[in-house]
């Protein structure tokens, strides 16, 4: 441990949970990379400017989003100077937003226990996937929804979604590069709604495998266009073979929308400072 790290460890800290939103089209995902600008780097640069040389906080997120994926309520945590937090809590919203680049903003912050962990304490994560279903693509939504030009039968998609509820082995819906030890996951909620040309898939689970939501959506769309019957989804679960499922839906239609914990959720913190 360096002298700077030793000095930093001696300073009283306060762990904060922050809620952020970001436009994934402007970043190469959440996690820091050596050769690309990410949301984590943007947030850590901003908070370092507030904290100064005495503290260099690192952020941990409830989920790791890929390049192109958006968030409305991503929860992250970091340890900051307790004295600065007590003196000016609004600095961690207003000050952060002043330092952050376009495309990412903090919209809630809450002091939490020192052992709170944004990732490991999360009991449920929620995503939405947006589809633009019209014969002509949307100019305004081209970076924020998947354009599907063929008409989708939403009722058939909803029927197919029922097979995915509960605890299953989701091997057929995990990316080949997924490193999770087990493919067992529990989907608590999966709903599909249509509002005009926009179709929204809303899904919540204890956790998700790599590309799981995008792979599920790809197969639900295959049902919606009439390529498969709804019960094909049950067959895919039983086969445990990714090559039998449909294409991976593109990243730009996916949104991280909530992280749920024992005592609060990311959506609960939105708009709060305290």
pLDDT at residue 93, as a whole number: 97
Q: Which of 115, 26, 99, 40 is nearest to 69 (CA)?
A: 26
SS3 content of the chain, % helix, strand, coil (to 5): 30, 30, 40
Cα-Cα-Cα-Cα dihedral of 95, 58, 52, 48, to 10°?
Answer: -50
Candidate CATH numbers 3.20.20.220, 1.10.3720.10, 3.40.50.2300, 3.30.70.580; the one for domain 3-121: 3.30.70.580
Binning pLDDT at 50, 70 and 90, where does residue 8 land?
A: low
On the 0-12 / 13-18 / 19+ scale of CB atoms within 10 A, 271 is exposed
Binning pLDDT at 50, 70 and 90, where does residue 1 land?
A: very low
Mean pLDDT for the stretch of residues 137-152: 96
Q: Which of 88, 1, 106 is nearest to 51 (CA)?
A: 88
Interval 25-82: pLDDT, tens: 999 999 999 999 999 999 999 999 998 876 788 999 999 999 999 999 999 999 999 9
pLDDT higher than threshold 60 for residue 6: no
| Joined tokens for residue 72 | 């409305």
The set of catalytic residues is 66
CA distances from 30 to 24, 95, 199 (A): 9, 21, 25
- Which residues, in sequence order, are CB contacts of 192 under 8 Å at separation 6+? 154, 157, 158, 161, 199, 200, 201, 202, 220
pLDDT higher than threshold 70 for residue 7: no
Q: Which residues of 142-179 are buried (b: 16+ CB within 10 A; e: fewer)?
A: eebbbbbeeebebebbbbbbebbeeebebbbbbbeebe
Domains 3-121 and 124-258 share a fold: yes
Interval 111-124: pLDDT, tens: 999 999 999 999 99
Interval 192-212: pLDDT, tens: 999 999 999 999 999 999 999
pLDDT-wise least confident of 53-57, 146-150, 270-274 = 53-57
Interval 161-186: pLDDT, tens: 999 999 999 999 999 999 999 999 99
Instruction: Measure the CA–CA gap between 125 and 257, rounded to whole angstroms.
Output: 8
Binning pLDDT at 50, 70 and 90, where does residue 14 land?
A: very high
For 75, the 3-state DSSP assignment is strand
pLDDT at residue 9, as a whole number: 62
Mean pLDDT for the stretch of residues 210-238: 98
Instruction: Measure the CA–CA gap between 73 and 22, rounded to whole angstroms.
Output: 9
Q: Which residue has the higher pLDDT, 1 or 73?
A: 73
Looking at the domain 124-258, which fold is it? Alpha-Beta Plaits (3.30.70)
Q: Which residue has the higher pLDDT, 2 or 35?
A: 35
Binning pLDDT at 50, 70 and 90, where does residue 129 land?
A: very high
pLDDT at residue 40, as a whole number: 97
What are the structural domain ranges in the chain?
3-121, 124-258
């Amino acid at each position: 441990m360096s002298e700077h790290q030793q000095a930093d460890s001696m300073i009283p800290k306060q762990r904060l949970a922050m809620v952020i939103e970001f436009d994934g089209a402007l970043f190469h995902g959440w996690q820091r990379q050596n050769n690309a600008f990410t949301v984590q780097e943007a947030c850590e640069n901003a908070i370092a400017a507030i904290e100064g040389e005495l503290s260099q906080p690192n952020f941990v997120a409830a989920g790791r989003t890929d390049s192109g994926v958006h968030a409305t309520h991503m929860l992250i945590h970091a340890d900051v100077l307790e004295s600065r937090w007590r003196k000016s809590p609004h600095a961690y919203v207003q000050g952060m937003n002043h330092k952050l680049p376009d495309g990412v903003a903090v919209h809630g912050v809450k002091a939490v226990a020192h052992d709170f962990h944004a990732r490991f304490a999360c009991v449920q994560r929620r995503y939405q996937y947006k589809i633009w279903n019209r014969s002509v693509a949307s100019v305004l939504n081209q970076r924020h929804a998947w354009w599907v030009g063929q008409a989708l039968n939403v009722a058939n998609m909803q029927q197919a979604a029922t097979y995915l509820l509960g605890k299953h082995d989701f091997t057929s819906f995990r990316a080949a590069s997924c490193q999770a030890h087990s493919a067992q996951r529990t989907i608590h909620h999966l709903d599909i709604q249509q509002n005009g040309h926009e179709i929204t898939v809303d899904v919540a689970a204890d956790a998700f495998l790599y590309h799981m939501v995008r792979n599920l959506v790809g197969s639900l769309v295959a049902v919606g266009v009439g390529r498969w019957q709804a019960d094909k989804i049950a067959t895919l679960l039983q086969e445990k073979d990714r090559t039998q499922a449909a294409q991976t839906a593109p990243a730009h239609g996916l949104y991280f929308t909530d992280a749920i914990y024992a005592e609060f959720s990311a959506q609960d913190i939105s708009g709060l400072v305290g």
